Amino acid sequence: MSLDNSPAAAAQAPVSERIYAALRQEIMRCEIAPGTTLDAAAIARRYDVSKTPVRDAMQKLAADGLIAILPRSGYRVAPITFQAVHEILDLRAAIGPHAARQAARYATPADIAELRAIVREYAAPLDVGAMQQVARRFHVAIARCSRNKRVIALSENLFDELERLLRFAIDFSVKAGEHSDEHTALVDAIEAGDGERAAAIETAHIRHAREFLIERLMTLGYLSESEIRLGSPKRSMLA
């Protein structure tokens, strides 16, 4: 597998950035499973490049916390841990309602139209992977309505991490209309300028999603009731 080395692609990003983006996407989508050992030489052969851009890409992935650097040019994809699960869900609970509250203050008619267009996509049959992408665009769009660049950046990074967790934990069966009513209600509150109602809807949505995800992890045997109570941070769900 070689990267697109056309002039247009070269103008868009350095080779190391394109390798980084490709591997990051595969890790986030669990196409490269947590705990997988990666070899720089094999990656270089895969993309038909030297090892130098591969090493640069791996340094960026390590900085993102997605891989660990091993001796002699080896790398291991970071496991999904209980600590990561709790941190991701806690951050979602902190950011989501605040973004919704601020969106009710600053959203324009064009913003509302964009949000309603995204909500309509839930009516189509979607597997959970596609649904997660729709959810990401919806909630990041709300974050953009907050007009807070840091909230936007945190939301984007958070939904990247959520995608990895969800793809690891959830059966990707096809569904239609999932969450569309509560998302419609959320947009209605934002359009009405009712920040407290928007925040309350988002808080309830996040709480239900958290309960579902934890129940799913318990069903799969990756999380026990005692670990939920104690918040065990060290054990890996998949290493």
CATH number for the domain spanning 64: value is: 1.10.10.10
**Which residues are within 8 A (CB) of 216 and not within 5 positions of it... i.e. 6 or more apart?**
169, 170
Q: What is the DSSP string of 30-81?
A: TSS-TT-EEEHHHHHHHHTS-HHHHHHHHHHHHHTTSEEEETTTEEEEPPEE
Residue 32, domain member (yes or no) = yes
Residue with tokens 């009731």: 225
Mean pLDDT of the chain: 84
pLDDT by residue (tens digit) across 127-175? 767 888 898 999 999 999 999 999 999 999 888 888 888 777 765 554 5
Confidence band for 237, pLDDT divided at 50, 70 and 90: very low
Same domain, residue pair 95 and 207: yes
Residue 1, domain member (yes or no) = no
Residue 2, domain member (yes or no) = no
Residue-number span of the structural domain to which 122 is assigned: 81-238
User: Is residue 165 within 8 Å of residue 80, measured between CB atoms?
Assistant: yes
User: Is residue 141 within 8 Å of residue 110, measured between CB atoms?
Assistant: no
Strand partners, 238: 80
The pTM assigned to this predicted structure is 0.76
Domain final residue, candidates 78, 100, 119: 78
Task: Select from 137, 148, 134 the least CA-distant residue to 98.
Answer: 148
Same domain, residue pair 181 and 219: yes
Confidence band for 239, pLDDT divided at 50, 70 and 90: very low
Helix-strand-coil split of the chain, %, nearest 5: 70, 10, 25
Domain final residue, candidates 50, 78, 106: 78
How many domains does the chain contain in total?
2
User: Is residue 186 within 8 Å of residue 100, measured between CB atoms?
Assistant: yes
pLDDT of amino acid 1:
55
